[in-house]
């Protein structure tokens, strides 16, 4: 998908995380989401309900930290 005219499918998870942090999203939450994504996508770890819960919690924190930006 695209954000600000940039196709994020052509970027690494770290590049997407950098863009999110630059736009004011909570850096720790972004790092958590990125780490979890990489664990499942590249680390061949299963997408467990615990990982999903952690990702959802981090996503909530990321958006809470970006309010007003």
The pLDDT tens digits for 5-49 are 667 788 899 999 998 889 899 999 999 999 999 999 999 899 999
Distance of alpha carbon 65 from alpha carbon 43, whole angstroms:
28
Q: Please state the pTM of the whole predicted model.
A: 0.81
Residue 21 tokens, joined: 């942090």
pLDDT of 68 strictly over 60: no
Q: What is the pLDDT of residue 41?
A: 93
Residue 49: is it exposed, middle or buried by C-beta count within 10 angstroms (0-12/13-18/19+)?
A: exposed
Under 8 Å between Cβ of 32 and 40 = no
pLDDT of 67 strictly over 90: no
Q: What is the pLDDT of residue 57?
A: 97
Give the distance between the most distant pair of CA atoms in the chain: 37
């Amino acid at each position: 998908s695209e954000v600000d005219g940039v196709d994020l499918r052509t970027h690494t998870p770290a590049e997407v995380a950098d863009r999110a942090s630059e736009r004011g999203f909570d850096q720790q939450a972004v790092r958590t989401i990125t780490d979890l994504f990489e664990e499942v996508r590249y680390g061949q770890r299963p997408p467990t309900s615990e990982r999903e819960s952690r990702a959802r919690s981090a996503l909530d924190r990321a958006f809470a930290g970006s309010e007003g930006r």
